[in-house]
Amino acid sequence: MNDLGRLAAVFRVALGVAFVLALGGAFLPGVAGTASAVGALVVLAGAPVVRVAWLTVDWSRAGDRRFALVGVALLAVLATGGIVALV
């Protein structure tokens, strides 16, 4: 299996995990339901970041500097946005 096949497999698992956590958020009462819903949101928000990081590493291994640089720049923008959101 190549890198993109592994990436697709990781995202299939992430989709399943997000679905189960969302169901828990919808049907579990109290703190457990809230934690499950937050977990689903974290998985859904984190998946694109993981994809960009994965592809950036893949592009840099392949020697495609321009795409790798764009990936690094996008990750820097995402990190900056996360830091600003926390402050």
Query: Over 90: is that where the pLDDT of 5 sits?
Result: no
Sign of the CA dihedral 60, 64, 50, 79?
positive
pLDDT at 4: 78
**Predicted confidence (pLDDT) per residue in 31-70, tens digit:** 999 999 999 999 999 999 999 999 999 999 999 999 999 9
In angstroms, what CA-CA distances link 5 with 1, 11, 16?
Answer: 6, 10, 17
Contact 56, 77 (CB under 8 A): no
Query: Over 80: is that where the pLDDT of 1 sits?
Result: no
Across 38-53, b (16+ Cβ under 10 Å) vs e yields ebbeebeeebeeeebe
